[in-house]
Structure 1
């Protein structure tokens, strides 16, 4: 199994380290050529506007969007969630626009609004998971077919729709690998369909 990590900007190195720790081969994705031969892709945290612009500049936006629409498992963390959303609060266009969610950028404020908490997310793990939020978005609303996996203070911070997983927080910045293992399981389940 090979999981691609979008490496245009953001926390891609951290995700690569997490994949290595659970025995999965990670592949940095910087071009359309790098999208070939991967079984899933992680879109990391970072600056969603910068990543969205680079996807266009490197002529990857349409190709990546089509691959996800055609079943490539994708997981977006923080900015990655914004890239995957069909609607961004206060903006009139989306980036990849593949998941039926409406997200609010920087919903928890700027850097000073960053925080962490612990939560049991039954779909992911029976143990409490540390959730690290850094200038994080959250999901304002979901449409039919989107499963809400976690809420914090009444805000949706993790969800899944078919082959797409999103988290407002950064599992790659903790020692807990439950979300990375869950994404691997999603890929395996996707292959057996």
Structure 2
């Protein structure tokens, strides 16, 4: 079965191209009924408020929550991370609707405006352990969020030191806790919880395919854990041999940054 990529706004074409490079077929998801044709989903980066408004317009939130709640593998990058978080701070007036599922608190725009976007080498031994290569990967942060807190069942894959000139961030009073200032010396930028994966940065904008392979390994693991009756109605996530052979002969139509 193909991997769904939420295609309301943002870098969904880049994710589909990244999947194609590793021999996986990605399909655009724009309507609730299209989720029935996939068993995994990528929610791309983009403008989270705009994506939320479009998802609400197309009545996607109930279907997305059901998809996540059913245990299907889902990966959110940047805005997709915000979508998957149970709690979000630093939002625009009125906030935005969330899909939820990840036991974490995310700051919508922790690193600042578009002008504060940056690239940095992230230390990710877990990625190297699973997919080989070096212990670092290139993190492309574009008006990016950050994860401030995680629950006990959340695995931290990568974090990042907080700059000394980082503006003060206040965590609102939630669940009986008093309002307080965030004072940690680092923020989390990649996590995994069960079949949910989230990154605050954009792996689809680099030539490093390990994050997409890592997610596909999660998909394969989820398929193997499915009951026989469930497995009968699922197709192979990988493209056929003809598609894979064509990838090597076709010039990629999207810019990939080394």
Give the TM interval when normalised to the shorter protein: over 0.9
Alpha-carbon RMSD across the aligned residues, in angstroms, is 1.3
- Structure-1-length-normalised TM-score: 0.96
Name the CA distance, whole Å, in 2 between partners of 1:185 and 1:2. 14
Residue correspondence of structure 1 range 24-103 to structure 2 within 5 A: 24-90=24-90, 94-103=97-106
Name the CA distance, whole Å, in 2 between partners of 1:34 and 1:27. 9
- In the other structure, the counterpart of 2:2 is 2
Structure 2, unmatched stretches of 5+, are 162-185, 226-258
Higher RCO (CA-CA < 8 Å; seq separation 6+)? 2
Matched positions, count? 193
- In the other structure, the counterpart of 2:211 is 179
Worse-matched range after superposition: 156-165 or 84-93: 84-93
Larger radius of gyration: 2
Structure 1, unmatched stretches of 5+, are none
- Structure-2-length-normalised TM-score: 0.72
Name the CA distance, whole Å, in 2 between partners of 1:27 and 1:9. 14
The alpha-carbon deviation at position 82 of structure 1 amounts to: 0.3
Name the CA distance, whole Å, in 1 between partners of 2:96 and 2:37. 30
Give runs of ≥4 in structure 1 deviating > 2 Å: 90-94
Q: Does the CA contact (< 8 Å) of 2:8 and 2:54 recur in 1? A: yes
Name the CA distance, whole Å, in 2 between partners of 1:19 and 1:93. 29
Name the CA distance, whole Å, in 2 between partners of 1:90 and 1:134. 16
